Amino acid sequence: MKAEIIAVGTELLLGQIVNTNAQFLSVELATLGIDVYFQTVVGDNMTRLQESIQLASQRADIILLTGGIGPTQDDLTKDALAAFLRRELHIDRLAMDHVAQFFTKRDVHMTENNRRQALVIDGSTPLPNATGLAVGNALSHEGKYYIILPGPPKEMAPMFHEQAKPWLLQHALTDEMPIYSSMLKFAGIGESLLEDRLLDLIQNQSDPTIAPYAKEGEVTVRISTKATSEQEAMIKLNALEKQIQSLLPEHMYASGDIPIEKAIVDLMTDQGKTLSAAESCTGGLLMERITSVPGSATVFLGGIVCYSNQMKEKLLNVPHDLLEGEDAPGAVSAEVAQVLAEQVRMITDTDYGLAITGVAGPAYSERKPVGLVYIAIAERDKKTEVYELNLIGNRETIRVRTVKSLLYRLWRIIVN
């Protein structure tokens, strides 16, 4: 099976956004054993959009279109595909209810153009949009398969996983031996070092295959095999997983595609432990990540963002002498990180108190360089651990890397 991905949107051709949808879908299609030979980007233009669809339907079996299904006049994807297939469009009743409810709930008047978001091509399967308004479409026509997905990645990704992929498996991929995959997740290690540690395994791989890739400060290894049954696949995948884990026991935090904060919340829930945090330069990012995990409320009780020195003193009892004065270590110091962690743990009466203080940039602070960060983990009845980080990157990457680093160290402590 060959697929082609067509991303629709003038904003892509103007370079206002990057076509991450093509990457996402390419990875997903690869795991289904589908080859992608071309990715195309075309603007919100009826003629060129139809040209692209025609070309793709000549050279691929599966054509995935992303974007151009919103409410406005320049959202033309469904119209273009319908015209190319010589089919009509109609309003899908369930999709229309979904759109209408959105406005009713908000008590906002629905403008007429929003009805376009409920349009589907005659004879197609509507793909409900769980995180947005515009309905997707899936249909087969003269031996080719067409899938229409929304442009915003937050809508496109869930719709692909929950709607389009099952549809493809049922309609287009019935003869293929299915591919089964496991995702193994690693922290505290870079992609190249991980690949080095797994080199023998990777070079001798044939079945299952091993594919490492890096993503936002974490490394994922996907192991995949074709098999006639899930049971058969799992035997092969589990054996390889054990081998990989034995080579990297201090870094593999999960079997399954979960972030490390989820692994931490799960572990601490089992252990009946609680957690709090005090953040300076990360401004809430650590707590935001932890509370992004559903069910984190039993583990994470609360915390304090002490962005100014004043708040470090007032809310977290950091001694003034540590913060200011000729010989004071200053806010960005191991001493202050330690006090912050211990104080937030005591104030909230939790088992662990986390703390972060550093220079995220772009300007230096206290004559300390951008990227110097101290992180601390205070544990009830234990000595507080403090770590110095020297990070590179811009403000955003320094903040993200700080949080990843602290979460990795916390995981190492609680996993033992």
In angstroms, give the least distance from the CB of 156 to a copy of itself: 13
* CB of 143 or CB of 363, closer to a copy of itself: 363
Q: 389 forms bridges with which residues in the sheet?
A: 373
State which residue, 32 or 139, has the beta carbon closest to a copy of itself.
32
CB 123 → a copy of itself: shortest distance, Å? 27
Smaller CB separation from a copy of itself, 140 or 258: 258
Decide whether 124 or 408 has the Cβ nearer to a copy of itself. 408
Shortest Å, Cβ 87 to a copy of itself:
25
